[in-house]
Amino acid sequence: MHHVSRIAIACSTGLLLAGCTKNDQAAKDSAAAAAAMPAPAPAPAPAPALSLADFAGKWKVRGVPETGKDTSPTTYVLTATADTTGWTIVFPSGVKVPGHVTVEGDSVIVRTGVYPSQRRKGMKVKTEGSMRLQNGKLVGTTIAHYETKGPDSVLRLRTEGTKMP
């Protein structure tokens, strides 16, 4: 029986050494394969920061409700500056509304205070518009919040502006 134990120990040791040798070879093979692979491509350069100077000028803007029966446009002239001050909206009626501007990602957000609605006579409204430059035009969405005695009344408009000469 003593002889069988020695054979079992010898076989176990042989298997253990063979297993280690295979693992060492696999590690060498993996390292060689990794070294042969090309380096990953560098990350693309970050997009240039949005510049308000790109928006500066006068824009003829047209807003059309996204839903509902009334699809008549609301038009105005947006005067944009190279910074966050001096942005104004002027409606054909002569109503002039200052805009409060912030930059978020690739968009400019223009918020107004309360002013007389140009769509709903006798009502007051405040708006928030998100616009970005696309193919030389301003495109985006404006949300109009109408003051009512009940719950807030909201109208979403698709907006598009073209730069005036």
Enter the pTM of the model.
0.69
Task: Give the three-class secondary structure for 33.
Answer: helix
| CB atoms inside a 10 Å sphere around CB 155 | 21
- To the question of domain 52-163 being in CATH 2.40.50.100, the answer is no
pLDDT in tens, 26-52: 555 555 555 566 666 777 665 556 789
Q: Which residues contact 56 (CB under 8 A, 6 or more apart)?
A: 80, 81, 82
Would you say residue 23 has pLDDT above 70?
A: no
pLDDT in tens, 48-96: 567 899 999 999 999 999 998 888 999 999 999 999 999 999 999 999 9
21 vs 140, residue with greater confidence? 140
Angle at Cα 154 formed by Cα 158 and Cα 147, nearest 5°? 130
pLDDT at 15: 44
- Going by pLDDT thresholds of 50, 70 and 90, the confidence category of residue 13 is very low
pLDDT at 150: 81
What are the sequence ranges of the domains in the chain?
1-37, 52-163
pLDDT in tens, 92-103: 999 999 999 999
Q: Cβ distance 91 to 102 under 8 Å?
A: no
Encoded amino acid at 99, one letter: G
Q: Cβ distance 59 to 162 under 8 Å?
A: yes
pLDDT at 89: 98
